[in-house]
Amino acid sequence: MTQTDIAFLLADAADEVEIGIAPVQAVIRAGRRRRARRWAVAAATALVLAGSTGATLAFAGLPGQGDRGANVAKPPSSPEARHVYEPQRTELGRGTYQGKEWSVSVQVWGAPRNEAEADRQFAAMAERGLSPAEARKPADLIGKLSYFATRGWGDGGPQQVMFNTVEKFERFSGTDMQSIATRLGHGGESSGRLVIGMVAKTARQVTCRWKDGTSAVANRVEGYSVDDLGVAIRSVDGFQGANWFVCTAPAGTSYESAEVTK
């Protein structure tokens, strides 16, 4: 039997093989009948390879098959990446009162997705002296974001002054504002001299007015400088829907009012 006879016998055997993909099968059969001996041998060899490697070879090189990995869903991000156990922290302002440094910062904690994450977050908050709003047990934190605006002075630990636990952040607009007046340090003299609040992302200026008729203007800033006096509007990492501001009153007076003026 000649090589030509073997080639055509292989070609006849190929008629009984179902590749499962019509274009590939048609190309192989057309090549077997109309081309020379070396093409018939190549076609038979392709069929043997297809039978041994399964669908992998049959799909190779077909349109739309090379990028299937791009459609695979990404695994959910880790609790660490979502800041469940370690919050994002942004300092709003700092200064000096009675020879000791005061500071204000905002912490944003990511939402736990299950009870195990909530247990660990609840414990991490407690270690920092924080009590989330309306969360009497860890499970109350599941699916919710928490934020805390804290005030610190000297060597004492930070104290929370504005805080909440929510499913999503409220979006401020126009002249919307929430604020609180607190003290710079211990003692009644500094009561009402520190104002902390939230305003819309579009707000460029907040004016805080004091009981003695004077005022302080907080402008939208980025970063810190040597001229920073603790009066500013800043964005807070992880906090959507609003920016935060800080104003401080001079000695001998306290908070009267505050409003968005630009």
22-34 and 3-14 helices cross at what angle (nearest 10)?
150
Q: Report pLDDT digits (tens) over 179-224.
A: 999 999 887 788 999 999 999 999 999 999 999 999 999 999 876 6
Q: Give the amino acid at 93.
A: G
For the residues 250-259, what does the mean pLDDT come to? 94
pLDDT band, residue 6 (cuts 50/70/90): low
Q: Give the amino acid at 154.
A: G
For the residues 164-190, what does the mean pLDDT come to? 92
The owner of tokens 């739309």 is 64
pLDDT band, residue 73 (cuts 50/70/90): low
Specify the pLDDT at position 43.
Answer: 37
pLDDT band, residue 75 (cuts 50/70/90): low
Q: Has this prediction a pTM greater than 0.75?
A: no
What percentage of the chain has pLDDT greater than the value 90?
58
Cβ contact 120:85 at 8 Å: yes
Nearest Cα neighbor of 107 from 47, 183, 167, 160 is: 160
Tokens read off for 134: 């309306």
Cβ contact 206:176 at 8 Å: no
What distance lies between CA 124 and its chain's CA centroid?
20
**For the chain, which residues make up each domain, given as ranges?**
3-71, 90-111+145-260
* Strand ranges of the sheet holding 145-153, from the earlier edge strand across to the other edge: 88-97, 100-109, 145-153, 159-166
